[in-house]
Amino acid sequence: MDTQDTITGRVVAVTGASGGIGAATAVELGARGAHLVLGARRADRLEAVADRVRAAGGTAVTVPMDVRDRADHTALVDRARAEFGRLDVLVANAGVGRVRPLDELPVEEWDEMIDVNLRGVLYGLAAALPVFRAQQAGHLVVVASTSGLRVVPGQVVYAATKNAVRTLCEGLRQEAGPALRVTEVSPGFVATDFVEGIGDERLRADYRAQRDEIALDPAAIARAVVFALEQPAGVDVNQVVVRPTAQG
Ligand SMILES: NC(=O)c1ccc[n+]([C@@H]2O[C@H](COP(=O)([O-])OP(=O)(O)OC[C@H]3O[C@@H](n4cnc5c(N)ncnc54)[C@H](OP(=O)(O)O)[C@@H]3O)[C@@H](O)[C@H]2O)c1
């Protein structure tokens, strides 16, 4: 069987799998018979998601990890190979969004977003790419954002990190050759805990209100990931943008 023809039996590692889009993606793939390797920092939440994956018919193991730590990515990929013999897909989904005007100079928040959203994806690539090369097959899926496509005041550095990973995806695609697939999924507003990380109380309340009014169910993004994965081996879905119809 060409393992890239179907999701059943595919080995998929997902970062940021303890909630939101990552958890929804894991459950959606689990329902299609994938073997999941779930990474994030909160071990208890990861276990709860693993239980949901198993209940949906999939197989799941958990790896508590911080995407800012390169060794943790190695552990994630090693666990996939030890448990399931290979790694077919890495979904680099973990991310944080801090919203503040540049004038406030929130340099620590800038550093955090660069470390998680950009360096965290690069470390994932560093762990997965040699395995993909040795297998002569592999698929990197990166969760970027529409924030990088339509830059909104307050989200400038967040958007910069997402445009950086967008560039990374296109560059990897150019270098990858026929054996690898690279997909950037860019969600618009999705109903997750993402806005809870906004430090400014007033902005957080505004974003919460907007989320509760228009945001997508995370399953909408999970289905976009599924669409990219379920294509035949020679078909590379490069970019998927999914917004609520109500989003400007
Ligand atoms: N929600 C939206 O409107 C939206 C829109 C566009 C793009 N996105 C992107 O979608 C992705 C998922 O976000 P979400 O909306 O699902 O938000 P979320 O509910 O806050 O989930 C974020 C996930 O990332 C993990 N994470 C954060 N920092 C981490 C770290 N240092 N190491 C490991 N895991 C880390 C969290 O797990 P732990 O805290 O347990 O580590 C959690 O599982 C992000 O890349 C985000 O930029 C979201």
pLDDT in tens, 182-236: 999 999 999 999 999 999 999 999 999 999 999 999 999 999 999 999 999 899 9
**Catalytic positions:** 158
Mean pLDDT across the chain, nearest whole number? 96
In the predicted model, is pLDDT for residue 105 greater than 50?
Answer: yes
Residue with token string 């560093």: 126
Q: Which two tokens stand for residue 216?
A: 């997508």
pLDDT tens per residue across span 74-95: 999 999 999 999 999 999 999 9
**99 Cα: distance to centroid of ligand 1 (angstroms):** 14
CB of 123 closer than 6 angstroms to any ligand 1 atom: no
Domain of 48: which CATH number? Answer: 3.40.50.720
Q: Indicate whether 1 belongs to any domain.
A: no
The pLDDT of residue 5 is 47
Query: Which atom of ligand 1 is nearest to 143's Cα?
Result: 45
Q: Indicate whether 157 belongs to any domain.
A: yes
Query: Which atom of ligand 1 is nearest to 18's Cα?
Result: 43
What integer is the mean pLDDT of 55-59? 89
Q: Indicate whether 163 belongs to any domain.
A: yes
**20 Cα: distance to centroid of ligand 1 (angstroms):** 7
Task: Tell me how many domains the chain contains.
Answer: 1
Question: What are the start-end ranges of the H helices in 32-155?
Answer: 43-55, 70-84, 107-113, 120-135
CA angle 124, 72, 169 (to 5 degrees): 5
User: Is-contact 51 29, C-beta < 8 A?
Assistant: no
Question: By CB neighbour count within 10 A (0-12 exposed, 13-18 middle, 19+ buried), where does 208 fall?
Answer: middle
Task: Supply the angle between the helices 20-31 and 43-55 in degrees, to the nearest 10.
Answer: 30
The pLDDT of residue 205 is 96
Q: Indicate whether 191 belongs to any domain.
A: yes
Query: Which atom of ligand 1 is nearest to 190's Cα?
Result: 3
- Selected residue with higher pLDDT from 102 and 56: 102
Global pTM value? 0.97
Q: List beta partners, residue 63.
A: 39
**pLDDT band per the 50, 70, 90 thresholds, residue 6:** confident
Report which protein residue has its CA nearest ligand 1's atom 32. Answer: 66
Domain that holds residue 51: 11-242
The pLDDT of residue 57 is 85
Percent of the chain with pLDDT over 70: 98
CB of 24 closer than 6 angstroms to any ligand 1 atom: no
CB of 161 closer than 6 angstroms to any ligand 1 atom: no
